Amino acid sequence: MKPVRLALSIALALSAPAAFADDTDTTPQKATNLGAVDVTAKLDEARNSLSPDTGSSQYVMDRQTIQALPLGDSTPLNQVILQAPGVVQDSYGQLHVRGDHANLQYRIDGVVIPESIGGFGQTLDARVIDNVKLLTGALPAQYGDRTAAVVDITTRMPKQDGIGGTVGITGGQFGTLNPNATLFGHEDKWSFFLTANYLENDVGIENPTASRKPIHDHTNQVKAFGDLSYLINDDTRISFMFGATNNRFEIPNNPAQEPQFGYLDVTNFDSAQLNDRQSEKTRFGILSLQGKLGSTAYQVSAGQRYSGLDFTPDDIGDLMFNGVASNVRRSNRADTVQADFSTPLGDNHTLRYGLYGSFERANSTNDALVFPANDDGSQASTTPLNIVDASRLLARTYALYLQDEWSIGSQWTVNYGVRYDRFDAFKPESQLSPRVGLVYQPTDSTTIHAGYSRYFTPPATESISPTSIAKFVGTTNALPDNGSDTPLSERSSYYDIGISQKLGDQWTVGLDSYRRNVNRLQDEGQFGTALVYSTFNYGVGKIKGDELTVNYDGGALTAYFNFAYNRAVGKRVITGQYNFAPDDLAYIYDHFIHLDHDQKYTASGGVSYAFGEGTRVGADYLFGSGLRSDGIVPNGDHLPAYFQLNFSVSQDMHLTSIGATHAQLALVNALDRTYEIRDGSGIGVGAPQFGPRRGLFLSLQQDF
């Protein structure tokens, strides 16, 4: 193996304040509840013992960090994660971490939440978060399935007696209105946290033009989350966690487009008047039992997630511009079970073991209007045909893991283990994956980590939509009759090495480097008119990169800086070939090409300063060298670099006796720099998308 280059990696680990301290300090704590509070803290510590980070890279953002972002608690979750190193933004709110397309795993309080179908809406809300960790690199054996990164969220649960909460609203330009409410409480053995918000604006999806205001881009979004916990005894508690979203989007229009087909006696159509729409729904519920049996900590969970997507076309308009108008419906229901255990063995070993299983039912329907076509593909008639292409998929996922954390003296820690995964959908696939991570801490200020992980990544079931090529033969939606429509599980070897160095009490600098050799590299693309993604595989892939992070915590003044380099390439399309032009397939067969989401350089950073107790000003930025676009070869060029600067100022006031009032003013893209995220070219890329224009937003929150 070639030497692995060293690069910076650091956790942005600001000291997290006690949960809800500002909201509950005015309520005296009853002595009779001190025991329950102490027991809850002990169980939290036991649950944390189930999630080691040995050998992997970790980036932590607490609630204070999130509130310092320009939009504070109103910041979409994907925008929060974008502040971490190596995270690249894409259209429709998608994220790419370390050269992967999506492949993110979301966990809430250690429980895996299966992915949803929708690409526009965010299922989770930042108001849920007490702190969030982004784990990347060579992960321990307990992490599998989605391995580009683990978004590990710890929820906000009250630690003191009484009931409190907050109500608020965020409003501003582009028709933005975002009222919200949060309620939490703790009484004896019961604790609960509930939050809900409604969002509407006129920029639900990225604008396909450089104009300040998109055409036909209104969105309405509703989100809710709850967490209810009951302390059975000093060593056991049961909790129920649930969430729901219902998001509706208008698909923005690109004016002045020329129709390519005729419809009956209609020969012209104004593309600014198209009326494509999409709705996305997700709901989940998880019941967990967590506690200790002797020295063994455990958490056992059972849950279900439903996700659905409906794309409604403009029948006449889509037919005239694309030759097909597809009413696309996808749904996916996942039943899951998860069990994690942690047992100390003597003074130097901690054994961790567990299992995960899911059963998914995915349904996909493409109710399409198309025109008859001649042998050369030209339109043969202006009278459309109706073709229904439907499929149903059952998928089962099983996983077992065993790992040992071995402390060698005071400076060395080794985490080694093995994971077995099996994915049974089109055909059984499985893999036994060794993992090993090493941490060396020669001094209190220096930490070095290195790791190797073998990964097995099944295709995302919610993105699998088998297509009947035969049904569309002789139509304007005809597909090349070649290749396989069955995506394969990805298999890869991941190498990671890094160092973190504290400089005095205020500075921390880190360096991290990674390399991944991949077989059956998974990627996703938007290949149809509906804004949904489909999975395909490259035969082989190579991904490598470096990350530099710097963190400063000077009390009133805090700052962070992240810089990342990445290169991700693939060769030979081995599944989903019918989505590609024959010339592209022929070139990719013998040549490595950049993946469409490969961005060479990415940076983020921010600074925040507190004046006294109640006033804070801040700024943050995003920089990218540009995603890929077509050049002489597929994905052979890249878009221009972009830079987005945001400002904020906040003030805490005590206007009433019921609680503090918080006001925050945010200026997003303060320089109003117009930049393209996508230009409509590249493998699996749909319409162009531009980044946000300058916007002014005001948030008001009242605690009680």
Q: How many CA atoms lie within 13 A of 352 on its CB side?
A: 24
CA dist., res. 50 & res. 393, Å (int): 33
What was the pLDDT predicted at 422? 97
CA dist., res. 243 & res. 158, Å (int): 19
| Better pLDDT: 217 or 67 | 217
| Residue 317, SS3 per DSSP | helix
What was the pLDDT predicted at 558? 92
Share of the chain above pLDDT 90, in %: 69
Q: Does domain 21-703 bear CATH number 2.40.170.20?
A: yes
DSSP code string of 608-674: EEEETTTEEEEEEEEEE---EE-SSSTT-EEPPPEEEEEEEEEEEE--SSS--EEEEEEEESTT---
| Residues 354-362, mean pLDDT to the nearest whole number | 95
Residue 543 has which token pair?
A: 């991904």
What was the pLDDT predicted at 123? 79
What was the pLDDT predicted at 478? 82
Residue 422 has which token pair?
A: 């099996």
What was the pLDDT predicted at 530? 61
Mean pLDDT over the full length of the chain? 88
**168, 699 in Cβ contact below 8 A?**
yes
Residue 73 has which token pair?
A: 């608690």
What was the pLDDT predicted at 529? 60
**258, 221 in Cβ contact below 8 A?**
no
121 pLDDT band, cuts 50/70/90, is low
CA dist., res. 132 & res. 62, Å (int): 6
| Residues 107-119, mean pLDDT to the nearest whole number | 82
Bridge partners of residue 518, in order along the sequence:
541
| Residues 15-36, mean pLDDT to the nearest whole number | 34
| Residues 230-237, mean pLDDT to the nearest whole number | 92
CA dist., res. 323 & res. 334, Å (int): 35
**637, 631 in Cβ contact below 8 A?**
yes
What was the pLDDT predicted at 8? 33
What was the pLDDT predicted at 528? 64
Cα dihedral: 572, 578, 580, 581 (round 10): 110
Q: What is the pLDDT of residues 367-416, one digit of tens each?
A: 999 999 998 889 999 999 999 988 898 999 999 999 999 999 889 999 99
Residue 667 has pLDDT above 70, yes or no: yes
What was the pLDDT predicted at 483? 64
What was the pLDDT predicted at 23? 38
**425, 395 in Cβ contact below 8 A?**
yes
pTM of the model: 0.88
Residue 312 has pLDDT above 70, yes or no: yes
What was the pLDDT predicted at 48? 64
Q: What is the pLDDT of residues 331-354, one digit of tens each?
A: 999 999 999 999 999 999 999 999
Q: Where are the beta strands (DSSP E) in 444-506?
A: 446-457, 490-503
What was the pLDDT predicted at 55? 64
183 pLDDT band, cuts 50/70/90, is very high
CA dist., res. 79 & res. 646, Å (int): 12
Residue 126: what are its φ and ψ, rounded to 5°? -65, -20
